[in-house]
């Protein structure tokens, strides 16, 4: 495996110098569904050239993979499917159950749960083009009967009460600036006894983080539109789930199982990050920056699987 990359020293200054202006009125970002002031930032991040390049390389879906001892670190695609299988296992739903994918992107995670695990999945996302692509992929795979996709903000769900047997987020809750609204909505649309799973990050408490590490966390979370990551210190999501009414809240730290993929991203992203920082354009290579910095500062955060259920 490649050696651990070092971090460019000019990141902080470059990031501070490249703050972007808000989107113009009438732009696609400004007209994002759901009405949140934060949604344009999320759309801007996902629609950046670097994000699109990474998504194309990974087949349209980006989330971390699950590596077992001995698994080759270069085979990120098999690892991603294993992480999706972990999701199915943690949800614990029987074949034919109806699950909600909150932040589905182009629908590949939902498709895996339908094809391999027999679930009926409704996927929602704020990006209209991704929903259209998800519908095309479901049709090509002849799974359109088990899969449905629609454009919707997961902080403003319009489904009737008690609509789903299970729900999940796969590295999407970190992009929310309305976590309490998201959890309240998921609680409402789950049937009594319904299961919820979050595959998300948490961070070290601010009072246990050095000023240098806190600066890096703040910069990346701002540039990558991840306000929830900034506030979800270890244990906070669990408390918010309990406050929302969920029970049997459990968290498993699986950071060690996804680090090989992060190290691969860090190694690949070191040069673009170095060049971007030198040119004062770190924001244009925020994914490379995040890959390098999160690997260097891997003691400051965790990758968790958090599960719970709505009382019967």
Token pair, residue 235, equals 């244990």
Residue 56 φ/ψ, nearest 5 degrees: -65, -40
Angle of CA points 186, 127, 63, to nearest 5°: 70
- Residue 171 is among the residues annotated as catalytic for this protein: yes
Catalytic residue among 171, 200, 219, 238: 171
Residues assigned a catalytic role: 171
């Amino acid at each position: 495996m490649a050696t651990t990359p070092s971090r460019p020293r000019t990141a902080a200054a470059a990031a501070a110098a490249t703050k972007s202006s808000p989107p113009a009125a009438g732009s696609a970002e400004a007209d994002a569904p759901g009405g949140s002031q934060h949604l344009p930032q999320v759309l801007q991040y996902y629609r950046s050239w670097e994000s699109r390049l990474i998504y194309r390389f990974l087949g349209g879906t980006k989330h971390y993979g699950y590596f077992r001892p001995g698994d080759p670190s270069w085979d990120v695609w098999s690892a991603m499917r294993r992480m999706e299988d972990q999701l199915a296992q943690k949800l614990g739903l029987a074949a034919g159950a109806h699950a909600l994918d909150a932040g589905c992107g182009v629908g590949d995670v939902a498709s895996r749960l339908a094809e391999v695990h027999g679930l009926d999945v409704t996927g929602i996302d704020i990006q209209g083009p991704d929903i259209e692509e998800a519908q095309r992929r479901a049709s090509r795979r002849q799974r359109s009967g088990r899969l449905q996709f629609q454009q919707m903000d997961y902080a403003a769900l319009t489904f009737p009460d008690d609509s789903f047997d299970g729900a999940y987020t796969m590295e999407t809750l970190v992009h929310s600036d309305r976590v309490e609204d998201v959890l309240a909505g998921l609680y409402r649309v789950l049937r009594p006894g319904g299961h919820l799973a979050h595959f998300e990050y948490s961070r070290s408490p601010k009072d246990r983080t050095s000023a240098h590490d806190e600066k890096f966390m703040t910069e990346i979370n701002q540039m990558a539109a991840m306000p929830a990551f900034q506030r979800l210190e270890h244990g906070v999501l669990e408390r918010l789930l309990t406050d929302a009414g969920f029970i049997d809240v459990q968290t498993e730290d699986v950071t060690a199982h996804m680090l090989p993929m992060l190290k691969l991203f860090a190694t690949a992203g070191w040069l673009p990050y170095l060049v971007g920082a030198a040119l004062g354009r770190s924001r244009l290579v925020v994914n490379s920056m995040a890959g390098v910095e999160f690997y260097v500062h891997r003691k400051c955060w965790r990758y968790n699987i958090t599960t719970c259920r709505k009382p019967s």
